[in-house]
Structure 1
């Protein structure tokens, strides 16, 4: 959420990017490479997290963005590494105790030694006791509290502009998003392009993967065509993705070697450490690998450009950090005040930094950042790029050329005489893997394992860390060795594969040592073929195949369930999952087809539900046919791992039959309940349906519902034993519309049943006749309540002002949205309300009843208007607000659209669903074992 701006001149978005190259130490001792991570944890990541937790406990309303790279995430969740880091902290604490003893008679250093001991003890206590070794847990909590927006970067921080193919770039992005979503439990809204490196075409990849924004270097945006009218102080649209410009002024104030804050003489000197100053025998037990190096115990301040350094005074440095924070915020006030008068939108200053700057390189950095977050209150509004987009979507579309941060600003750091030798090899590896990706080895075979490991080796070789280190000249031999090792591993696998002489032991060694991305599938490198947005239809054999059961599927569907199944299955297919859908054959003929990468199997039954037969008898017949067809699909792929996914009670019997006879785990999505739809159970059929629902809930291995409201309802009615996960519905991209072209046209879309509340809307329209005689209502939908609603419209004197269209196609729905001034969804019961999302996605302002999932999707007076369910006068008030305030209506439409495209894309829903599938598969395997 964006902080309330009040009289503040604009927004400040601080972004920290946390990344380190992947290291997998298989020994019991800490390696020199691993020390980089341990130093970053001790000096940056943990102090920053503790600082943010203190701010939250104080009630400070702060917001910032943290980017976590996949290599860093992978290392943070490694159990053995957590254990080694605990021992590393214990060792440092022991050294801290000895330092207190060593300096006890030194008035300058003794207080500092005690300070280091207290600080290390707090870090150790937090890591071991509070977090139980899981640093991601407090970060997730800070996100849930609204303080952090968590995003990610490319898979191995590969420098995208210098890759040869879009196939390789796409793999870097998709692998990163898959790991982030599986680990964090949600998809990121934005992405940090490694080294801020942009090249034209990257935005197409990001859009296809559901990414909403990225950050670009300031000169990249300022050189765009046409000229950006808002400089770097508002996002622009590049393709279908928002780009924010990095602010040069904030960067200069912090990063500049000569003028930046970290160079102040009062701050701690980074390069003077007891690891180099004290006797080796004293230090040896505490040195990683027995080699002199930084310990973190530094007793001198920068002092000036002199070798004679004065003792460090932490309290003086702490006060200087407060002064610098005040200066930083004062500069942002002046900067934003100027730009708020120059551009037509609220300006935003985007200030990204490497996370390791704060604490590791600049010891006082976490304190300075905490002071900045405190002092911003009432002066500038802290926000995140994702939250800013929700209120201020980009209004200008541009084309940008290549750019990066770093010296020169155009790739120079990553392509120069020190590292240019590597790129012909990297490009040859890309081409080789793309060629090999066309083969089809048996799932789980040595050949498939080899190609998956080849993909890992290529990703690791592409890390931007290696050319960066080669340029800066720090640990050149290490970077050269890592780069050449991964390339050598890659090309050896390729040669062995082509000559059918794969070495099982060599491969197993690589799988153990370079074990990042355990679910990686080499088929990601297949070149684009038939599919959506040029993406190939590729099945990841490491993921289970999914057999979905649904009684409806477009174009033959009644409500939103069929739309949900179609869009979810297609989004899963785009992510490499093999999806088969069993559904009712509308014409009574059995057939199969492939639609957008999804295998559709149309199942006939003996009788159709429209015929005058007992409805429950028809359901039983349909389920018997589903079970028979499902067994055939499963039997056609012997050895393939499957999951069943049932959608609602109408397929419950067939799903349970397949689960029990084939031993296949079952996931069930409960879209609604019979008791909820009817406000209780009033007859035999309703009681029977409730019984079937209860059986499905009790038998499923895992359950999904679309809102917290539905979660509470399911728990109240059925007390499920299996895990129940809330995964919201998604929405497809909608054609943009300009609402209100037909004056005061109100639109309702949905099934015509009592619980949708159209009768309330008709009554509200009748009350509006004297104020807005031209107001008219379009009711789009069909259902058993249609005749009664038509009669009610006549009785209320609305016969000429209400148009009942009957069931409409998606194309006609879009046309109706383009005609509407406002879309109203007055449900009395609504588990989610996907039609409201569709209207919001089109930019149409919405009015919804404050019930069920609708109340979770629409935030009153921000992304739409809400009213009390069944309250005619309250609904009338909302309609008057829309009609009387076109500016408010337009803003609600914009905000609603931004919210949908940030949080409710099918790509995001599919990633969360896929993460759940993996958990079910893992639990099932453990039980079977």
Structure 2
């Protein structure tokens, strides 16, 4: 089956980031598989209205007020008229929201369920349970996910976190990791544009590092507290003091940039630390290939796409053992540290020693990453989620059937659009919150009835769709031989969980 899909999130290009890249890459690969995909986000500076990107991807930039870190001000109901107009114009079947902190995402899922559309939510982040901001965010997530059809998480750690925060049935949550376009993150010796004519698979190993050769450590990150910038600021002077032939390249921007600059001035390290400031995503590869080690001192991370990009570029990765990071790369590509200053300095020293002794074959990383991660595979698995919530796959097979659970429990995972059933689900969200959520749903339903009566669908022009591509044929590689993957009913007999 093919679907008309709308991706909703506050976070999209031209802002760089993992969520933004995920939405774009997933959308283009779904288009390659024969689906129609549009993206709805807020207006960015210089970008308002409707834009077309590569592969016929249409983007709606809605002019809403941005209040913090590219997140729009929550309005709950004022977005509904625009939302309904876009949904009807584009004849959308499935609404797919991204990111827990996106107001557009939460409001879109609420309005989509009111309009009788199937919904999917992808969580890209980890949150705690103790501080006030996390408590409020978790309550908002509980409100949204009480009536969502399916949830996707980018790692198993992220799934556990989301299930606990929103009190979800684990069988309604699938794990589909991020990916990278490996061809865009090739090391110097694996990229024809660098003047190297060595054929793929016959790469010359990188030159051996001597005891006096300079090792460059690369950091590309938003300079925020949760990205471990304070940890980085404390560790850099100690690393440079212990290793005279080491230098840093740091790219990124954020509120912690001033603290980083002040540290460099105080320690007089400007000649050994190069600050590049904000960079575009297409510039990331050219920065990474200048280094030998990628340092990622995050305090919390659901996946960490940037470390996959770094490994694909042939960098040895030093990262903190937090969140879903240990699931991302095999151990021979990484050195892990606790999110503490002493351990991070020690782990970086181990990585430097490993490179100087030439125990790590970073020239093989690119081909290994290329085999591990593929956006085509991510799109195929996401498509199966769409098939499951739309009824193209048997419910017992998609949601999972276990003896003793019974037919009723399995059917309960299929969300009804009836208002009374929706109110029952929201009412169980808390003594006071449940009543508030029910009130919001009723108001949303009344607004929908008003819009249907006073602004009938017949007055909304249907947008002409970009010509669809023929559905892609999945290919399974087996010992160098390729054969087409069966689709349709045969695809539904694939394993139930991801």
Any conservation in 2 of the 1:763–1:872 contact (CA below 8 Å)?
no
- In structure 2, how many angstroms separate the alpha carbons of the residues matched to 1:843 and 1:810? 18
2:67 maps to 1:619: no
- In structure 2, how many angstroms separate the alpha carbons of the residues matched to 1:927 and 1:686? 29
Q: Name the residue aligned to 2:482.
A: none
> 3-state SS of the aligned residue for 2:125?
coil
Residue number among 9, 19, 36 corresponding to 1:561 in the alignment: 19
Offset of residue 913 of structure 1: 0.6
2:184 maps to 1:731: no
2:99 maps to 1:648: yes
Any conservation in 2 of the 1:764–1:876 contact (CA below 8 Å)?
no
Q: Name the residue aligned to 1:872.
A: 342
Alignment RMSD (CA, Å)? 2.9
Any conservation in 1 of the 2:311–2:365 contact (CA below 8 Å)?
yes
Q: Which has the higher contact order (CA 8 A, sep 6+)?
A: 2
Offset of residue 795 of structure 1: 4.1
User: 1:885/1:595 Cα in 2 relative to 1: closer, same or farther (>3 Å)?
Assistant: closer
Residue number among 237, 241, 258 corresponding to 1:766 in the alignment: 237
- In structure 1, how many angstroms separate the alpha carbons of the residues matched to 2:136 and 2:353? 46
> 3-state SS of the aligned residue for 2:159?
helix
Q: Under a length normalisation based on structure 2, what TM-score does the superposition of the two structures give?
A: 0.68
The 5-angstrom pairing of residues 304-383 of structure 1 reads none
Q: Name the residue aligned to 1:787.
A: 258
The 5-angstrom pairing of residues 488-637 of structure 1 reads 542-554=1-13, 556-587=14-45, 589-605=48-64, 607-609=65-67, 618-621=72-75, 627-637=80-90
- In structure 2, how many angstroms separate the alpha carbons of the residues matched to 1:625 and 1:887? 61
2:362 maps to 1:911: no
- In structure 2, how many angstroms separate the alpha carbons of the residues matched to 1:557 and 1:731? 18
Offset of residue 853 of structure 1: 1.7
Any conservation in 2 of the 1:745–1:819 contact (CA below 8 Å)?
yes
Any conservation in 2 of the 1:749–1:780 contact (CA below 8 Å)?
yes
Q: Name the residue aligned to 1:756.
A: 227
Offset of residue 601 of structure 1: 1.4
Q: Name the residue aligned to 1:665.
A: 118
Q: Name the residue aligned to 1:91.
A: none
User: 1:917/1:609 Cα in 2 relative to 1: closer, same or farther (>3 Å)?
Assistant: same
Q: Name the residue aligned to 2:434.
A: none
Deviations 1:662-700 (A, max 9, x none): 110110011114x34xxx5434x5543332222223221
Any conservation in 2 of the 1:751–1:783 contact (CA below 8 Å)?
yes
User: 1:586/1:926 Cα in 2 relative to 1: closer, same or farther (>3 Å)?
Assistant: closer
- In structure 1, how many angstroms separate the alpha carbons of the residues matched to 2:124 and 2:44? 22
Residue number among 285, 297, 316 corresponding to 1:826 in the alignment: 297
- In structure 1, how many angstroms separate the alpha carbons of the residues matched to 2:79 and 2:364? 43
Offset of residue 781 of structure 1: 1.1
Offset of residue 822 of structure 1: 0.9
- In structure 1, how many angstroms separate the alpha carbons of the residues matched to 2:25 and 2:90? 24
- In structure 2, how many angstroms separate the alpha carbons of the residues matched to 1:688 and 1:866? 32
- In structure 2, how many angstroms separate the alpha carbons of the residues matched to 1:784 and 1:834? 22
Structure (1/2) with the larger helix percentage: 1
Offset of residue 895 of structure 1: 4.6
- In structure 2, how many angstroms separate the alpha carbons of the residues matched to 1:928 and 1:686? 29
Offset of residue 610 of structure 1: 6.4
In structure 2, list runs of 5 or more residues that go unmatched.
Answer: 189-205, 396-412, 419-498
User: 1:619/1:881 Cα in 2 relative to 1: closer, same or farther (>3 Å)?
Assistant: same
Q: Under a length normalisation based on structure 1, what TM-score does the superposition of the two structures give?
A: 0.38
Q: Name the residue aligned to 2:248.
A: 777
Q: Name the residue aligned to 1:845.
A: 316
- In structure 1, how many angstroms separate the alpha carbons of the residues matched to 2:54 and 2:79? 20
> 3-state SS of the aligned residue for 1:703?
strand
User: 1:839/1:628 Cα in 2 relative to 1: closer, same or farther (>3 Å)?
Assistant: farther
User: 1:878/1:591 Cα in 2 relative to 1: closer, same or farther (>3 Å)?
Assistant: same
Any conservation in 2 of the 1:866–1:878 contact (CA below 8 Å)?
no
- In structure 1, how many angstroms separate the alpha carbons of the residues matched to 2:68 and 2:348? 39
> 3-state SS of the aligned residue for 1:699?
coil
The 5-angstrom pairing of residues 225-244 of structure 1 reads none
User: 1:687/1:794 Cα in 2 relative to 1: closer, same or farther (>3 Å)?
Assistant: farther
- In structure 1, how many angstroms separate the alpha carbons of the residues matched to 2:11 and 2:105? 14
Q: Name the residue aligned to 1:835.
A: 306
Deviations 1:503-543 (A, max 9, x none): xxxxxxxxxxxxxxxxxxxxxxxxxxxxxxxxxxxxxxx32
- In structure 2, how many angstroms separate the alpha carbons of the residues matched to 1:868 and 1:926? 42
- In structure 2, how many angstroms separate the alpha carbons of the residues matched to 1:593 and 1:842? 30
Residue number among 716, 727, 737 corresponding to 2:164 in the alignment: 716
- In structure 1, how many angstroms separate the alpha carbons of the residues matched to 2:109 and 2:339? 36
Q: Name the residue aligned to 1:885.
A: 355
- In structure 1, how many angstroms separate the alpha carbons of the residues matched to 2:301 and 2:414? 36
Offset of residue 735 of structure 1: 4.0
2:161 maps to 1:692: no
Answer with 1 or 2: which has the greater Rg. 1
- In structure 1, how many angstroms separate the alpha carbons of the residues matched to 2:359 and 2:282? 24
2:326 maps to 1:855: yes
Tell me the number of residue pairs that the alignment of Structure 1 and Structure 2 aligns. Answer: 372
Deviations 1:107-152 (A, max 9, x none): xxxxxxxxxxxxxxxxxxxxxxxxxxxxxxxxxxxxxxxxxxxxxx
